[in-house]
Amino acid sequence: MAGIYLHIPFCRQKCHYCNFFSVASKRNRSDLVAAIIREMELRRDYLNQQQINTIYFGGGTPSLLTEDELKKIQEALEKFFVLAPDPEITFEANPDDLNPALLKMLKSTFVNRLSMGVQSFYDEDLSYLNRVHNGEQALRAIRQARDAGFDMLTIDLIYGIPGMTDERWLKNLQTFFQTGIQHLSAYALTVEPRTALAHLIRKGRMEAVDEVQSSRHFEILLSETEKQGFVHYEISNFARPGHYSRHNSLYWLGGHYLGLGPSAHSYNGVSRQWNVSNLTGYIRDAATAASVEETETLTIEQRYNEYVMTSLRTSWGCDATHISHVFGEAFSDYLFQSAGKHLDAQLMRREGTRLFLTNRGKLFADGIAASMFLDEAL
Ligand code: SF4
């Protein structure tokens, strides 16, 4: 199973919390499309001719691409790669871009799944985040996407926003359930260094994030999604059975992927690569494949740590049989040894050879995984 990620780094304006590589301008768009197509051609063998099951247009804001640009990218993908007969093709879009004409255009391409950056249905939250759209536009975009015939939809919501009461978070979730959408990605607001939000909080011009409020919102999220029949299949992802994101599942289950565009990451089971996080540098270098800024060949302990971290975040859990098979028995022994204190504290539970985080453990997912990492090979 293999996938392709395309990074389209343009945005209308920069959201205060954002630390993705993106630029608040649409200049160089056609040069970027040409560079991405050149990169496809140069790196067409990276995935060893594996069939491509999923393609994900992320950003930035892919919905700023024109019809001509998107169709050129589609043609190139079909030319340079072998696509599965029923690939999942996800396209990220912001509610302020979606309208019947754009949706009709998307429907005429191979795109079959839309991921909408709603974040909140309330204008107060959207204004704190410096999003371009408002709550009414988010609801309208969802309705229009449905009318245009998109039945595979997902939205992003953010909780733990200062000023967002528990009641307002609950109402956000209820509004989401009323839309009938089958997949939700929900993230805690985190203040990354070097973002506008970090600066504004430091200057006292924005209220700081309260971790306790954020944990409460996470608990509300777990109980409300469960009541509605959603499966919590990854720490930030919820879906009705049969509606999991195939692309993200590929990342979590160790599948291989090629990342195209500035700042995109790739992984082929042996090495991980990063493209340069600079638009003009990427466009200049794509002609020579020099846009790959760094290649890291993973050591066995890095691959083990990565597996522990990603698998513990999923509903499939961390499987000692898999570890023993791929890394050796010493690693599966170490897994149970390092999990001991978390099992005793009921932050984890064991079922056969698999370990899972409990709901309370999910609040500390990163810290628990880090405490189980290996510094050197066994
Ligand atoms: S739209 Fe997305 S990528 Fe662009 S600035 Fe906002 S959060 Fe970042």
Q: What's the CATH code of the domain at 23? A: 3.80.30.20
| Same domain, residue pair 194 and 56 | yes
Q: What is the pLDDT along the chain (378 residues), one digit of tens a residue?
A: 899 999 999 999 999 999 999 988 888 899 999 999 999 999 999 999 999 999 999 988 999 999 999 999 999 999 999 999 999 999 999 999 999 999 999 999 999 999 999 999 999 999 999 999 999 999 999 999 999 999 999 999 999 999 999 999 999 999 999 999 999 999 999 999 999 999 999 999 999 999 999 999 999 999 999 999 999 999 999 999 999 999 999 999 889 999 999 999 999 888 899 999 999 999 998 877 676 778 889 899 999 999 999 999 999 999 999 999 999 999 999 999 999 999 999 999 999 999 999 999 999 999 999 999 998 877
* C-beta 18 within 6 A of ligand 1: yes
Q: What is the pTM (predicted TM-score) of this model?
A: 0.95
pLDDT of residue 288: 77
The CATH number of residue 343's host domain is 1.10.10.920
Of ligand 1's listed atoms, the one at least distance from the Cα of 18 is 8
Expressed in angstroms and rounded, the spacing between residue 332 Cα and the centre of ligand 1 is 40
| Same domain, residue pair 196 and 345 | no
In-domain check, residue 144: yes
Final residue of a structural domain among 211, 229, 251: 251
Interatomic CA distance for residues 182 and 328, integer angstroms: 39
Final residue of a structural domain among 192, 225, 251: 251
pLDDT of residue 14: 93
Expressed in angstroms and rounded, the spacing between residue 11 Cα and the centre of ligand 1 is 6
In-domain check, residue 311: yes
In-domain check, residue 293: no
In-domain check, residue 203: yes
| Alpha carbon distances (Å) from 24 to 8, 21, 29, 131 | 12, 10, 12, 12
| Same domain, residue pair 97 and 194 | yes
For atom 6 of ligand 1, which residue has the closest CA?
15
For atom 2 of ligand 1, which residue has the closest CA?
60
pLDDT of residue 8: 96
Expressed in angstroms and rounded, the spacing between residue 14 Cα and the centre of ligand 1 is 6
Expressed in angstroms and rounded, the spacing between residue 67 Cα and the centre of ligand 1 is 21
pLDDT of residue 269: 82
pLDDT of residue 289: 67
Cβ atoms of residues 150 and 109 within 8 Å? no
| Same domain, residue pair 232 and 316 | no
Expressed in angstroms and rounded, the spacing between residue 354 Cα and the centre of ligand 1 is 37
Expressed in angstroms and rounded, the spacing between residue 236 Cα and the centre of ligand 1 is 18
What is the number of structural domains in the chain? 2
| Same domain, residue pair 199 and 304 | no
46: helix, coil or strand?
A: coil
* C-beta 12 within 6 A of ligand 1: no
In-domain check, residue 328: yes
Of ligand 1's listed atoms, the one at least distance from the Cα of 14 is 5
In-domain check, residue 349: yes
* C-beta 284 within 6 A of ligand 1: no
Full domain range(s) for residue 38? 2-251
